[in-house]
Amino acid sequence: MAALCESFTLCGLGPSGGVGLGGGLLALEPGPDPDHVLLTDRGRTATLFKVSDQKPLGCWSVKHGQIITCPVVCNFETHEYIAVHDDKVLRIWKNKDINLDKVFKATLSADVYRIHSLPNGGPVVLFKGGGVRTLDVLLEAPQQEIENIISDEVIKWSEAFMEGQQPVLIFTTEKDGDFFVYVQKLKMNSLHKYKLEQQELSKPLSFTAYIKNQIITLLCLYSNDSVYKVLIPLQQNTEEEEQILSKSLLLNLSVSGSVLKGTSFVVLDKDHVAVLGSLAASGEESKECLTIWNTKFQTLQTSKELPLGTSGQLWCYEEKFFFTHGKVLTVIMYKCETSSLAAAVGKLKDSQTPDVSSFVNWNTLGDEELVVSFQSQQSVALKSESKMTLRSKRNTVAKVQPDTLSVGQLLLNLKDASTTAFEDELRQLMSKAQMPDFQATIGCVITALINRCKTNPKYYPRNFLLQIFFSGCELCSLFFSYSCSLCPDLMAVALEKKDVHLLQICLQRFPDIPEEITYACLKVFLRQVGITVFISEAYLQRIDVNLESVICYIDIEFNNKEVKTEIVENGFNAELEQDIWDTKITKETHLTSDGEFCPVGPQKAALLNAVLHSAYSETFLLPHLKNLPAQQAVLFLRYLYYLYVKCSEKINTTLPGIRSPTINQIMDWMCLLLDAQFTVMVMLPEAKELLSNLHKFVRAQVRFYSELNKIEGSLRELQRLNHQKDSQTYSIEVLELI
């Protein structure tokens, strides 16, 4: 939820900086350091402020009779200030200079519209005739001829960005009610002219733009109280003359009858814009105010009345708004959080940041991109679009880059190598990897393996993957834990290949498995018979599954016998299957109610335990569980019932063994399963006895505990009596020491 915070006055303004259109300041530009701004008024003076201190740090004026015509900007590379007075005279000075008469001066051959200073690109000078020069080029020959591109059009607004390494300048012009947009790429020396789509009865008042993914998004505030969005792709190869740019309505500045007559606006983030203007309700006097709007939900997020009037100008730097209010320049800080529907309608409970992942999603990077991003020494995490605030791990990732560079390249090189060579290389890579970047390396290696699996359906390095997990766990269990997001496709591939052992390990180790995958695992583990693939107990017995969670409570000997009766061959059709199910279930139910035998074999039990152990969120799991086939649901419930009975046997209600499920996990899953499948269970004849047994058992338990509750008072009284005996001042007792 966006919010305006406290405001403070940065400085008072002179007579020229008054209220109303045409008044105000010439411009406010960012200063050389964070928290600094450069204020240029409409007269002769430029002032540097430290915002948080509300203190001017420097002030420069041109001589009487001269007038600054172009806002003073700071060259971020050299920390010099650049100004133009009397349209043509360029001045450059440093912080220590006092008198502007004595600083560097260059008289240019054409009138300057504006200078844009870019953090990495140096200043760019835009002339009133539409010509563009970088400052360096201009200073080489100040008197050089400047072409006039726009003839009698008038520049209304301009802005500059960095796209990759090259500066891009965009400006809009007007001629006879028509508006044109020019995009100039300086390095390539390419200029594109566009015409803005006409709008009936209204014209643009204010512009703002930002660049993302090679696309310039131009936002226009129209006089019909709407904000329109215009997309201008940078990659434009057609040499067409005057393309027409179509616009789309982004935001209508009206709220419950009142309309905001905007004068200027800024973009805060992808969902928020701030508009300064006057809010006019029908029949009421309009009042000026600063507003923040959510474009996603078309809502007014917050507003602040400005009774003393403004000059209609608004700037925004470092999460602070700057505008003139009465006779002062006011600063308001704001907070703007990622918009969610809950936040937009004001229902978000606390301002918690969206779930932050500490892992880089290696999957989002293509191979080439991987290498490129490493080379550009840019944090991969920063590049990825999601606003990830990487906690401490960020450092690790950043430091690792020189090493992972080779990893990335190596993986790229290995793309076409033979399987054995590929695995050997990866093994070497794993052994070389140092501790801090081990996680990153594993991520890369697993991603490479999975990609190979995807491209080559026959390839599945089962042992190698297991090896990675075991060696990795031994090596760096102290340093990090694995996570699903580290290698998102791993489980999907393992599911596809029915590698239950790997799935078991993943379920045990990953803290962040999506519920969908958890459900898929459960389904695979439960599936008895299938047309294409099946996981029967017999199959399971052949493969290696970690049994440590079940070994302590399942009588393996007996179950083996039972399992044998249960093996169902591959290739049955559905009706036949159903028959078998029916007969089997009646038999099994009998067994369960009688002797409480485990309804599944130890291997399957171990796999199910892994599912029981994994973390999940009920809301997300429930819809998936509804899809569980009835027979599987009954089998699973039967197993849960068995576990519950086993748990209740012990006084401390815990199952023996390592990673065995806890009573709470069992109960939660049981409730979840019954919630999801209740109607099915009620209808299913084979589930009837199971449900009734379950009911009886739970009722007995409830009775037992309520009885225990009743005698609690008596037990406490006994304890008290014991205590009283202690408080005597003298006693003779017998003590035996052995």
Q: How far is CA 689 from the centre of its chain?
A: 48
Minimum CB distance to other proteins smaller for 235 or for 727: 727
Q: Which stretch binds other proteins (CB under 8 A): 143-151, 214-222, 261-269, 723-731?
A: 723-731
According to CB under 8 A, which one of 235, 237, 248, 728 is a site residue for other proteins?
A: 728
Please tell me whether residue 731 binds other proteins under the rule CB under 8 A.
yes
Shortest distance in whole angstroms from residue 732 CB to other proteins: 5
**Three-class secondary structure assignment of 558-619:** HHHHHHHHHCCCCCCCHHHHHHHHHHHHHHHHHHHHHHCCCCCCHHHHHHHHHHHHCCCCHH
Please tell me whether residue 737 binds other proteins under the rule CB under 8 A.
yes
Please tell me whether residue 574 binds other proteins under the rule CB under 8 A.
no
Which amino acid is residue 268, in one-letter code? L
- Total binding residues for other proteins by CB under 8 A? 13
Query: Among all chains, which residue has been given the structure tokens 């009610």?
Result: 177
**Both tokens of residue 318?**
């470092």
Please tell me whether residue 239 binds other proteins under the rule CB under 8 A.
no
Shortest distance in whole angstroms from residue 720 CB to other proteins: 15
Shortest distance in whole angstroms from residue 421 CB to other proteins: 45
Return d(Cα 538, Cα 137) in angstroms, integer: 79
Phi, psi of 410 (to 5 degrees): -60, -45
Please tell me whether residue 96 binds other proteins under the rule CB under 8 A.
no
- Tell me the Ramachandran region of residue 122: left when phi exceeds 0, alpha when psi lies from -120 to 50, beta otherwise: left
Nearest CA-CA partner of 368 in 359, 376, 358? 376
DSSP state, residue 340 = -
Shortest distance in whole angstroms from residue 728 CB to other proteins: 7
Minimum CB distance to other proteins smaller for 212 or for 391: 391
DSSP state, residue 353 = P
Return d(Cα 216, Cα 212) in angstroms, integer: 6
Which amino acid is residue 208, in one-letter code? T
Shortest distance in whole angstroms from residue 50 CB to other proteins: 16
Enumerate residues 6+ apart whose C-beta is below 8 A from 259: 225, 253, 279, 280, 281
**Both tokens of residue 360?**
């880089």
Shortest distance in whole angstroms from residue 727 CB to other proteins: 8
Shortest distance in whole angstroms from residue 729 CB to other proteins: 4
Which amino acid is residue 211, in one-letter code? I
Please tell me whether residue 720 binds other proteins under the rule CB under 8 A.
no
Please tell me whether residue 734 binds other proteins under the rule CB under 8 A.
yes
Please tell me whether residue 710 binds other proteins under the rule CB under 8 A.
no
Taking residue 644's Cβ as centre, other Cβ atoms within 10 Å add up to: 20
Minimum CB distance to other proteins smaller for 313 or for 358: 358
Minimum CB distance to other proteins smaller for 244 or for 738: 738
Minimum CB distance to other proteins smaller for 478 or for 735: 735
**Three-class secondary structure assignment of 56-94:** EEEEEECCCCCCEEEEEEEECCCCEEEEEECCCEEEEEC
Please tell me whether residue 188 binds other proteins under the rule CB under 8 A.
no
Minimum CB distance to other proteins smaller for 575 or for 733: 733
According to CB under 8 A, which one of 151, 431, 724, 729 is a site residue for other proteins?
A: 729
Sheet of 132-134, strands arranged across: 112-118, 122-127, 132-134
Q: Which of residues 34-63 bind other proteins (CB under 8 A)?
A: none
Which amino acid is residue 209, in one-letter code? A
Which amino acid is residue 86, in one-letter code? D
Query: Among all chains, which residue has been given the structure tokens 């508009």?
Result: 275
**Both tokens of residue 165?**
């390494």
Please tell me whether residue 730 binds other proteins under the rule CB under 8 A.
yes
Minimum CB distance to other proteins smaller for 35 or for 425: 35
Q: Are strands 89-93 and 226-233 parallel, antiparallel or unpaired?
A: unpaired
Q: Which stretch binds other proteins (CB under 8 A): 67-75, 403-411, 582-590, 726-734?
A: 726-734
Please tell me whether residue 736 binds other proteins under the rule CB under 8 A.
yes
**Both tokens of residue 540?**
């399971």
Shortest distance in whole angstroms from residue 710 CB to other proteins: 24
Answer whether 472's CB lies under 8 Å from 428's CB.
no
Minimum CB distance to other proteins smaller for 399 or for 561: 399
Shortest distance in whole angstroms from residue 719 CB to other proteins: 16
Minimum CB distance to other proteins smaller for 244 or for 737: 737
Nearest CA-CA partner of 328 in 316, 351, 311, 344? 311
Taking residue 113's Cβ as centre, other Cβ atoms within 10 Å add up to: 23
Return d(Cα 610, Cα 326) in angstroms, integer: 67
Shortest distance in whole angstroms from residue 616 CB to other proteins: 33
Shortest distance in whole angstroms from residue 724 CB to other proteins: 12
Shortest distance in whole angstroms from residue 398 CB to other proteins: 15
According to CB under 8 A, which one of 64, 102, 720, 725 is a site residue for other proteins?
A: 725
Question: Cα separations (Å) of 353 from 133, 293, 325, 436?
Answer: 43, 20, 33, 27
Shortest distance in whole angstroms from residue 478 CB to other proteins: 20
Minimum CB distance to other proteins smaller for 173 or for 358: 358
Return d(Cα 188, Cα 186) in angstroms, integer: 5
Residue 325, SS3?
Answer: strand
Which amino acid is residue 32, in one-letter code? P
Answer whether 92's CB lies under 8 Å from 81's CB.
yes
Please tell me whether residue 721 binds other proteins under the rule CB under 8 A.
no
Shortest distance in whole angstroms from residue 394 CB to other proteins: 13
Minimum CB distance to other proteins smaller for 152 or for 730: 730
Answer whether 454's CB lies under 8 Å from 446's CB.
no
Shortest distance in whole angstroms from residue 531 CB to other proteins: 59
Shortest distance in whole angstroms from residue 359 CB to other proteins: 22
Minimum CB distance to other proteins smaller for 165 or for 728: 728
Shortest distance in whole angstroms from residue 733 CB to other proteins: 5
Q: Which stretch binds other proteins (CB under 8 A): 103-111, 314-322, 517-525, 722-730?
A: 722-730
Please tell me whether residue 738 binds other proteins under the rule CB under 8 A.
yes
Return d(Cα 66, Cα 551) in angstroms, integer: 92
Minimum CB distance to other proteins smaller for 420 or for 731: 731
Task: Provide the β-strand partners of residue 55.
Answer: 50
Minimum CB distance to other proteins smaller for 574 or for 734: 734
Q: Which stretch binds other proteins (CB under 8 A): 399-407, 501-509, 683-691, 727-735?
A: 727-735
Minimum CB distance to other proteins smaller for 714 or for 728: 728
Minimum CB distance to other proteins smaller for 201 or for 730: 730
Phi, psi of 212 (to 5 degrees): -155, 135
Task: Provide the β-strand partners of residue 294.
Answer: 272, 299
Shortest distance in whole angstroms from residue 395 CB to other proteins: 11
Answer whether 196's CB lies under 8 Å from 179's CB.
yes
Minimum CB distance to other proteins smaller for 151 or for 729: 729
Taking residue 524's Cβ as centre, other Cβ atoms within 10 Å add up to: 20
| String of contacts with other proteins for each residue 667-706, x by CB under 8 A | ----------------------------------------
Q: Which stretch binds other proteins (CB under 8 A): 243-251, 269-277, 535-543, 730-738?
A: 730-738
According to CB under 8 A, which one of 188, 651, 711, 732 is a site residue for other proteins?
A: 732
Return d(Cα 33, Cα 51) in angstroms, integer: 11
Q: Which residues bind other proteins (CB under 8 A)?
A: 725, 727-738
